[in-house]
C-alpha cells in the first residue's frame, strides 16, 4: 500500500511557468489516496487557474490570508495543522527568499511558518537566478532549518537558457514525497552511534587559531540519518553554525585533544558504530601563547612551532573500538589509494573517500560524492545532497555490520 493513502498534503504553487506541471503532481497524489488541498500565491494565478486546481484536488483553492469566507471553512492556522506535509512546487526565488527571511506576508509563507509538518520545496527558476549567491544563501538557510529540497534538475529552460533550475518532473516529485512520508524502520533501536563532525580549532594565542573549512554538514546529516532509524547518537562537534538534529546528543568541543577526550567518554559505554566525519587538525601549537602575540622588530617572517595532535580515530581503534569503525579520507589526489592506506593504517572497517579538490562537493557544500571502501569491497553512491547521501551511508554501514565476516 502506498504511504500516501489518507495523507493530508498541502500543495503550494508559486509564480512560474512550471506551475502547469503541478496539476499532474496533484493528480498523481490524489490517485495514490492522498487528500490534497491547494494554496496559490498571487504570482501563480498568472500560470494556472483556480477552477482547474479545484477540479483535480476536489477542494476549494485558497490564496488569500484575509478571506473571511475561506477562514469560515478552515482558518489558516487550522490549515497549517491539517497538513501532514507541505510541498511547494514550483518554489520561486522570491518565495525561497521570503520563506528564508521568516516572512508571513501571504497565505503560503504564513502556513509554512505556522506548521509543524515537514516542508518540501521543488525550486524552479532561471539558471542564473538559481546560482545567484542570494538564492544559494537562502537555500543553505532553508536546508539548515530542515526544509527538504526536491531538485532542481538541470537542462534546457523555458527562457532558452541551459543550466540548473528546472523543476523536477511531477513523477520524480511524487516519488520524493512518497519516500518522505514512508515510515522509517526503527531497525537501529538499541544501538549507540558516536559521530564526530565539523572542524577542530587549535589555539595559537587568546585571539587566533588554526582550523579548516569543515562546516559540519556531512557529520550532522549522518547523525540525523542514524537517529531517524532509531539509533542513540552522540555527536561530538567542533564549532559550527548548525543546530543539533532533533533527538541527537551533541557534545561541543574545540581542539583535537578535547575531541579525543569527549569520544573516550562517549565510548565508555560500548559503541556499535563510530564515524569520524570531523576534519581534525593534524597539528597544534607546541606552546599556546598566553597573551596576544605581537609583531616583533622588522622581520617579515614568523615561526610557529607545531606538534602532532593525537589521531582521534586511530587511538580509539586501538583503545576502545566501536564494533564498526568508519573514517573519512579527505584527499586532493590519488583519492582511492590514499584512502585505502588510511583504512589499514588507522585500523578501520570502512573508509569514506572524499575528493576535496572538487569545488562542487566536500567541504562546506550542500552536496557530496564519495566512495566507500572496505578491505575488499567498494561502493560509489551518486552525487547528491549530504542529507540523502547520509541516508545511503547509514544504510551501507548497517548492511556491512550485518555481513557475515
Looking at the Cβ atoms of 130 and 363, the one nearer to ligand PMT is 363
From 327, 349, 372, 394, residue interacting with ligand PMT (rule: CB under 6 A)? 327
In the complex with ligand PMT, the residue whose CB is nearer, 29 or 218, is 218
User: Degrees (nearest 5) of the Cα angle 243, 188, 146?
Assistant: 25
Q: Least distance from C-beta 123 to ligand PMT, angstroms?
A: 21
In angstroms and rounded to an integer, the radius of gyration of the C-alpha atoms of the chain is 24
Question: CB of 214: closest distance to ligand PMT in angstroms?
Answer: 4
- Residues 236-275 binding ligand PMT (CB under 6 A) are 256
Q: Alpha carbon 183 to chain centroid distance?
A: 19
Residues 105-144 that bind ligand PMT (CB under 6 A): none
The least CB distance from residue 301 to ligand PMT, in Å, is 27
Distance CA 81, CA 116 (A): 7
Output the smallest distance, CB 255 to ligand PMT, in A: 10
Site for ligand PMT, residues 30 to 69, rule: CB under 6 A: none
Q: Which three cell numbers stand for residue 98?
A: 521570503
**Minimum distance between the CB of residue 143 and ligand PMT, rounded to whole angstroms?**
12
- The DSSP 8-state label assigned to residue 181 in this structure reads H
Judged by CB under 6 A, the number of residues near ligand PMT is 28
Sign of CA dihedral 68, 74, 78, 81: negative
Site for ligand PMT in 191-210 (CB under 6 A): 196, 198
Whole-angstrom distance between the N-terminal and C-terminal Cα of the chain? 36
| Residue 314: closest CA among 337, 286, 280 | 280
- Residue (74 or 306) nearer to ligand PMT, CB: 306
Residue 313 neighbours by CB under 8 Å, 6+ apart: 274, 276, 325, 327, 346, 348
Q: What would the grid cell of residue 55 be?
A: 477540479
Residue of the chain from 115, 127, 309, 369 that contacts ligand PMT (CB under 6 A): 309
Closest to ligand PMT by CB, 382 or 404: 382
Sole binder of ligand PMT in the list 216, 317, 325, 369 (CB under 6 A): 216
Cα-based distances in Å from 89 to 20, 76, 167, 356: 10, 19, 8, 33
Shortest approach of ligand PMT to residue 279 CB, angstroms?
4
List 112, 159, 263, 324, catalytic entry: 159
Q: Which residues of 190-221 are buried (b: 16+ CB within 10 A; e: fewer)?
A: ebbbbbbbbbbbbebeeeebbebebbbbbbbb
Residue 196 · residue 312 · CB < 8 Å: yes
Among 215, 237, 317, 398, binds ligand PMT (CB under 6 A): 215
Q: Which of 105, 131, 241, 364 is in the footprint of ligand PMT by CB under 6 A? A: 364
From 273, 280, 389, 391, residue interacting with ligand PMT (rule: CB under 6 A): 280
Known catalytic residue at 159: yes
Give the other-Cβ count within 10 Å of 374's Cβ: 16
CB 70 within 8 A of CB 78: no
The residue ranges of DSSP E strands in 183-230, in sequence order, are 192-197, 202-205, 208-210
Binding mask 155-194 vs ligand PMT (x if CB under 6 A, - otherwise)? ----------------------------------------
DSSP assignments along 270-288, one per residue? --SEEEE-SB--SEEESS-
For ligand PMT, the closer CB: 88 or 313: 313
Interface with ligand PMT includes 335 (CB under 6 A)? no
Q: Which of 324, 356, 393, 394 binds ligand PMT (CB under 6 A)?
A: 356
Cβ at position 389, least distance to ligand PMT in Å: 10
User: In degrees, to the nearest 5, what angle opens at C-alpha 311 toward C-alphas 367 and 250?
Assistant: 55
Q: Which stretch binds ligand PMT (CB under 6 A): 11-19, 68-76, 183-191, 324-332?
A: 324-332
Q: Which residues make up the interface to ligand PMT (CB under 6 A)? A: 196, 198, 214-218, 256, 276-280, 282, 309, 311-313, 327-330, 342, 354, 356, 362-364
Catalytic residues: 159
Amino acid at each position: 500500500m502506498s504511504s500516501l493513502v489518507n495523507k493530508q498534503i498541502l500543495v503550494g504553487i508559486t509564480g512560474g511557468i512550471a506551475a502547469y506541471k503541478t496539476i499532474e503532481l496533484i493528480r498523481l497524489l490524489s490517485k495514490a489516496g492522498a487528500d490534497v488541498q491547494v494554496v496559490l500565491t498571487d504570482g501563480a494565478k498568472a500560470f494556472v487557474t483556480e477552477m482547474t486546481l479545484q477540479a483535480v484536488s476536489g477542494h476549494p483553492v485558497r490564496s488569500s490570508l484575509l478571506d473571511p469566507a475561506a477562514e469560515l471553512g478552515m482558518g489558516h492556522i487550522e490549515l497549517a495543522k491539517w497538513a501532514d506535509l507541505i510541498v511547494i512546487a514550483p518554489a520561486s526565488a522570491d518565495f525561497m527568499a521570503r520563506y528564508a527571511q521568516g516572512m508571513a506576508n501571504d497565505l503560503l509563507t504564513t502556513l509554512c511558518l505556522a506548521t509543524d509538518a515537514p516542508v518540501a520545496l521543488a525550486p524552479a527558476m532561471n539558471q542564473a537566478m538559481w546560482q545567484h549567491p542570494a538564492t544559494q544563501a537562502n537555500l543553505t538557510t532553508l536546508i539548515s532549518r530542515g526544509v527538504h529540497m526536491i531538485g532542481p534538475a538541470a537542462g534546457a529552460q523555458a527562457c532558452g537558457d541551459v543550466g540548473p533550475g528546472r523543476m523536477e518532473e511531477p513523477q520524480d516529485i511524487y516519488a520524493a514525497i512518497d519516500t518522505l512520508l514512508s515510515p522509517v524502520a526503527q531497525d537501529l533501536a538499541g544501538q549507540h552511534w558516536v559521530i564526530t563532525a565539523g572542524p577542530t580549532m587549535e589555539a595559537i594565542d587568546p585571539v587566533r587559531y588554526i582550523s579548516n573549512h569543515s562546516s559540519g554538514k556531512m557529520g550532522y546529516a549522518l547523525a540525523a540519518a542514524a537517529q531517524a532509524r532509531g539509533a542513540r547518537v552522540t555527536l561530538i562537534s567542533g564549532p559550527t553554525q548548525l543546530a543539533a538534529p532533533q533527538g541527537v546528543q551533541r557534545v561541543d568541543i574545540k581542539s583535537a585533544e578535547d575531541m579525543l577526550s569527549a569520544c573516550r567518554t562517549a565510548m565508555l559505554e560500548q559503541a556499535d558504530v563510530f564515524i569520524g566525519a570531523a576534519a581534525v587538525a593534524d597539528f597544534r601549537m607546541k606552546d599556546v601563547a598566553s597573551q596576544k602575540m605581537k609583531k616583533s622588530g622588522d622581520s617579515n617572517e614568523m615561526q610557529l612551532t607545531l606538534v602532532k595532535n593525537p589521531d582521534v580515530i586511530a587511538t580509539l581503534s586501538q583503545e576502545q573500538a566501536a564494533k564498526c569503525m568508519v573514517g573519512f579520507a579527505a584527499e586532493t589526489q590519488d583519492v582511492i589509494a590514499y584512502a585505502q592506506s588510511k583504512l589499514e593504517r588507522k585500523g578501520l572497517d570502512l573508509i569514506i573517500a572524499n575528493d576535496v579538490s572538487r569545488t562542487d562537493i566536500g567541504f562546506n557544500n550542500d552536496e557530496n560524492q564519495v566512495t566507500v571502501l572496505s578491505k575488499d569491497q567498494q561502493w560509489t553512491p551518486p552525487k547528491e545532497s549530504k542529507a540523502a547521501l547520509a541516508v545511503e551511508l547509514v544504510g551501507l554501514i548497517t548492511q556491512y555490520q550485518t555481513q557475515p565476516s
